Every structure is written in C-alpha cells, then in structure tokens.
Amino acid sequence: MPTRVKICGITRIEDARDAIDAGASALGFVFYPRSPRAIEVDAARAIIEKLPPFVTTTALFVDPDVALVKRVIETTGIDLLQFHGNEEPAFCASFGRPWIKALRMKPGMDLRAECGRFSASRAILLDAYRPGVPGGTGETFDWELIPADIAPKIILAGGLLPENVAGAIAAVHPYAVDVSGGVEAGKGIKDPERIKGFMAAVQCSDDSQGS
C-alpha cells in the first residue's frame, strides 16, 4: 500500500494546487491562532471551494472552543478533524466528523495505552515533543519507539523533510506522513520544489520496499 501524504499549514490556493499536483492525498488547515500557519475560517473556505474531488481536507485544532469547531465544519465543509491539544476522546468524537488525535512523544508516555484511549479515532498522528509547543516544532523523535503492530494506524509527523522522509518510512512503515515546515519557503508559504522533492522521496521509498 502506498504511503499517503498530508501537507499541512495550507494558507494559499497556489500551495494547495501545488500539493495536489504533486500527489498529496490530504491538505491541512490550521485553526490555532498562535500558529504562524493559522488561517481564518473564511479564507480556508475560499480555498476548499476551489479544490478538486478526492482530496481530504483536515482542520487542525488545539484545545478549541466547541463554537470554533462547529463554525469550521459549517463554513468549510471540512472532511476530517485533527486535535493537537489535551482533548478527551468524547470531545473529539462529539462533532459528527471523522477525527484523528495527535500525540506528542513525551518521554515516558505509554503509547499503547494512549492509542487504546483514542481507539475511536481514524488514526493517531505522532509528533515530536517540546514543552509548551503543541506541534510544528520541526524536530524529529526516535522512530524506534513506535511498535510495529501500531504503525499501520500511524500518521508520522515531526521534522520530516525531503531529505529524511524516505528513511522515516523505511523505519516505521506508517500509514501516512504529515509535513508542513519541511516543504516551506517561509512560515505558511510552501515551496513547490520542496513539495515535489518530498513526494518523490516518498515514492522512491515505497518503490524500494515493494521491490
């Protein structure tokens, strides 16, 4: 099965098109005001309205108000919710949309237990841990901490780049990988050549494992 790719932190229609043209399966929109990649709800709607079919749109939240999540759903028609804070499973599941839960690989975390706690999620996204930063650190973590039997439900994030994503896939065999800063020219501005390089590296890794 080919490794899916989600490109997160989309703020411009041209970046969305570049990601789709390169073969990305999903796009992420950040609804967390403190993020340098945050986007207003109406701006996200304007981009999503122009997307072709069969591209999954994802809304990223960090401990959001219920009203914000509902507004994003109603305004944008977003496909998937992604929670990066301290949300409880019942909260994540309360909006009538498929959802994924991001876990930061904090030292000592019981990954199996956390995956079990969020078993109703469509997937678990694993990101690097930095105190006080809910994601987008640009840092990797020890991929060997991910048990092989959990990997098929994992979306791997955290410091992925065109230069290291092939090694990450070979080490973890995740369902998908998630990239934001690793394909940027600047905060919230994607670099089409880095997007192409990232996608080519994913394809190369998949081809080598399938041979």
- Distance CA(101)–CA(125), nearest Å, equals 6
pLDDT of residue 161: 95
pLDDT higher than threshold 70 for residue 135: no
50, 28 in Cβ contact below 8 A? no
**At 171, phi and psi to the nearest 5?**
-80, -40
For residues 178-185, average pLDDT: 96
Q: Which residues pair with 61 in a beta bridge?
A: 83
Q: Which runs of consecutive H residues, i.e. helices, occur in 135-191?
A: 165-172
| Residue 131's pLDDT band (cuts 50, 70, 90) | low
- Distance CA(64)–CA(27), nearest Å, equals 20
For residues 115-142, average pLDDT: 80
Q: What is the pLDDT of residues 50-100, one digit of tens each?
A: 999 999 999 999 999 999 999 999 999 999 999 999 999 999 999 999 999
Number of other CB atoms surrounding residue 119 within 10 Å: 11
- Distance CA(103)–CA(115), nearest Å, equals 9
Catalytically annotated residue among 15, 18, 127, 178: 127
Pairing status of strand 154-156 against strand 184-186: unpaired
Verify whether residue 127 is a known catalytic residue: yes
| In the chain, % of residues over pLDDT 70 | 95
pLDDT higher than threshold 80 for residue 200: yes
Catalytically annotated residue among 8, 15, 18, 92: 8
What integer best gives the mean pLDDT of the chain?
Answer: 93
- Distance CA(166)–CA(168), nearest Å, equals 5
- Distance CA(88)–CA(118), nearest Å, equals 8
| Residue 129's pLDDT band (cuts 50, 70, 90) | confident
Which range has the worst mean pLDDT, 9-23, 80-94, 121-135, 189-203? 121-135
Q: What is the pLDDT of residues 94-127, one digit of tens each?
A: 999 999 999 998 888 899 999 999 999 999 999 9
pLDDT of residue 128: 85
pLDDT of residue 141: 84
Q: Give the fold, CATH level 3, of 4-210.
A: TIM Barrel (3.20.20)
Domain borders along the chain are 4-210
16, 28 in Cβ contact below 8 A? no
pLDDT of residue 211: 43
pLDDT higher than threshold 50 for residue 37: yes
Verify whether residue 204 is a known catalytic residue: no
Q: Which of 163, 155, 166 is nearest to 204 (CA)?
A: 166
Measured CA to CA in angstroms, residue 106 lies from 114, 143, 158, 202 at distances of 12, 13, 13, 26
